[in-house]
């Protein structure tokens, strides 16, 4: 045998060895859930694991997780693989409760990564923070959104409503429901964040809103880099979203100017988030001059901007789904109008609005069918046990909100719009963690009460003056989720025709 043949044999044996090692390693790697006796979705790709369709943006994450959920009926949880990382999708509402409340110490961290070393307003968002940083940031928002503060929402809406009416009266064509929603939330969120007048119905271009649009499009879009970041934090530094850092100076400057205005005018009673944060610091012994320092401005800006973006996007989505559903179901709209008309239009209070049973049922059914956030991701920080299975620190847990809301065993005929599902009797007969549009437990959305209150006030005023109809001269399309990154985004615009009532 010559030397060439010997080399060829050696190379062949080496390649065979490498292939064998790689094969057995992959078998071991993707055998994680099998070794734990957990039902699981098998890895279909050596690279992508179980999420090839998700990685290629063929479906939204909410729909992807719903498909896994529906494929394993009766199971308390399902394992799957995000690239080479084993993750666990929870199906049982009782285990959802354990993750979100009872075992919160092991799952206090949301499985969303943001480089906290990066000096951006998003890196200071309570949703992405963890540990002491999260507690501090959330506490600031909670103190700024008390019941006593939220009672001013009807007054704030009443100031915006005339410009909204003018906009609707002058619009003869169809209106896109989400655009109408952002017209409301952009102005209201700016007012409640910084105390600035920034009406979404003004013809003057709003720079705050333009930035909000860009950030929202980035984080809910199907951009390749964002899909990587959503599934694996390792890619964050490689594909860092530049707009977040680029616009940080703008929000810091806006916060500084707004704070100076509050100080100069002696306005201590504004219900805006910035003033609430200011009053908290003043009570703690700080002086107004100290608050104008750059490091404090950056801290204040992070909390205020976090609220603004949460209020701007998810509230607008929920409002658009509600208005579109009312156009789709005229009998529901008629009954709801009869209920809200009983209240004095010029003296609306949140206490009275929150007592309206049908309004509560309709809004709850809308959020069941179209939850703005279709899933939640939690990261295990301490080894613990769930349903008899040991969950190691570092594991990711997925709470599939959309799938739970559309489970036919929990909600018969789940595709049907039935507000009566949320009567007191029906709610009491259902596991409370089978309905979690805002999450639950200590990390429940801090802006939940603001969003619900704002939407209820706007809807009650709107229904007393206008009829919400399907679009004229266009097909009335069902609401279907697009292949978007995180939030429930319709696959086509939701068009409406809104006309004055014949009183």
**380 known member of a binding site:** no
**Residue 500 neighbours by CB under 8 Å, 6+ apart:** 169, 465, 466, 467
Residue 86, classed as helix, strand or coil, is strand
What is the maximum alpha-carbon separation in the chain?
102
Q: Are strands 389-391 and 384-386 parallel, antiparallel or unpaired?
A: antiparallel
**Residue 270 neighbours by CB under 8 Å, 6+ apart:** 195, 262
Contact 442, 436 (CB under 8 A): no
Q: Where are the beta strands (DSSP E) in 298-413?
A: 376-379, 384-386, 389-391, 396-399
How far is the C-alpha of 411 from the C-alpha of 369, rounded, in Å? Answer: 11
How far is the C-alpha of 91 from the C-alpha of 161, rounded, in Å? Answer: 42
Two tokens at 357? Answer: 């049973």
Two tokens at 372? Answer: 């703005």
- Please state, as a whole number, how many other Cβ atoms lie within 10 Å of the Cβ of residue 165: 16
Alpha carbon of 319 to those of 179, 190, 313, 330, 457: distances in Å? Answer: 10, 17, 10, 17, 11
**Residue 229 neighbours by CB under 8 Å, 6+ apart:** 113, 235, 236, 239, 241
How far is the C-alpha of 214 from the C-alpha of 245, rounded, in Å? Answer: 13
b/e for 332-369, b at 16 or more Cβ within 10 A? bbeebbeebeebeeeebebeebeebebbbbbbbbbbbb
Residues annotated within a binding site for heme: 445
Residues annotated within a binding site: 445
């Amino acid at each position: 045998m010559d030397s060439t043949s010997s080399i060829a044999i050696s190379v062949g044996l080496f390649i065979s060895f490498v292939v064998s090692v790689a094969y057995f390693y992959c078998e071991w790697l993707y055998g994680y859930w099998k070794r734990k006796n957990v039902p699981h979705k098998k890895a279909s790709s050596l690279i992508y694991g179980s999420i090839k369709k998700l990685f290629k943006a063929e479906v939204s994450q909410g729909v992807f997780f719903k498909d896994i959920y529906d494929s394993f009926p009766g199971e308390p949880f399902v394992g799957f693989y995000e690239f080479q990382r084993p993750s666990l999708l929870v199906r049982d509402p009782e285990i959802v409760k354990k993750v979100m409340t009872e075992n919160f110490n092991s799952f206090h961290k949301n499985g969303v990564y943001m480089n906290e070393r990066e000096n951006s307003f998003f890196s200071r968002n309570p949703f992405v923070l963890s540990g002491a940083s999260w507690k501090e940031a959330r506490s600031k928002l909670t103190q700024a959104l008390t019941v006593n503060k939220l009672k001013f929402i009807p007054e704030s809406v009443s100031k915006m409503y005339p410009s909204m009416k003018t906009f609707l009266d002058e619009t003869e064509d169809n209106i896109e429901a989400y655009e109408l929603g952002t017209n409301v939330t952009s102005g209201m969120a700016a007012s409640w964040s910084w105390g600035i007048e920034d009406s979404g119905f003004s013809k003057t271009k709003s720079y705050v809103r333009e930035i909000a649009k860009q950030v929202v499009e980035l984080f809910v879009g199907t951009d390749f880099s964002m899909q990587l970041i959503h599934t694996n934090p390792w890619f964050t530094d490689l594909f860092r979203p530049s707009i977040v850092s680029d616009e940080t100076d703008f929000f810091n400057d806006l916060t500084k100017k707004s704070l100076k205005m509050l100080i100069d005018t002696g306005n201590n009673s504004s219900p805006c988030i910035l003033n609430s944060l200011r009053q908290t610091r003043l009570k703690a012994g700080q002086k107004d001059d100290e608050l104008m320092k750059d490091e404090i401005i950056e801290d204040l800006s992070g909390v205020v901007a976090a609220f603004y973006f949460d209020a701007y996007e998810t509230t607008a989505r929920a409002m658009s789904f509600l208005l579109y559903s009312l156009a789709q179901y005229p009998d529901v709209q008629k009954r709801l109008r009869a209920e809200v008309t009983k209240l004095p239009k010029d003296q609306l209070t949140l206490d009275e609005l929150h007592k309206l049973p049908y309004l509560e049922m309709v809004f709850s059914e809308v959020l069941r069918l179209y939850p703005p956030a279709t899933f939640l991701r939690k990261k295990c920080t301490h080894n613990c046990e769930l349903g008899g299975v040991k969950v190691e620190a570092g594991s990711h847990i997925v709470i599939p909100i959309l799938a739970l809301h559309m489970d036919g065993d929990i909600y018969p005929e789940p595709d049907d719009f039935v507000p009566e599902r949320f009567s007191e009797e029906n709610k009491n007969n259902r596991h409370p963690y089978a309905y979690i549009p805002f999450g639950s437990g200590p990390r429940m959305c801090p802006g939940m009460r603001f969003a619900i209150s704002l939407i209820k006030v706007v809807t009650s005023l709107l229904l007393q003056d206008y009829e919400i109809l399907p679009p004229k001269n266009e097909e009335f399309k069902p609401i279907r989720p697009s292949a978007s990154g995180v939030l429930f985004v319709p696959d086509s615009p939701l068009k409406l025709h809104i006309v004055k009532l014949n009183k």
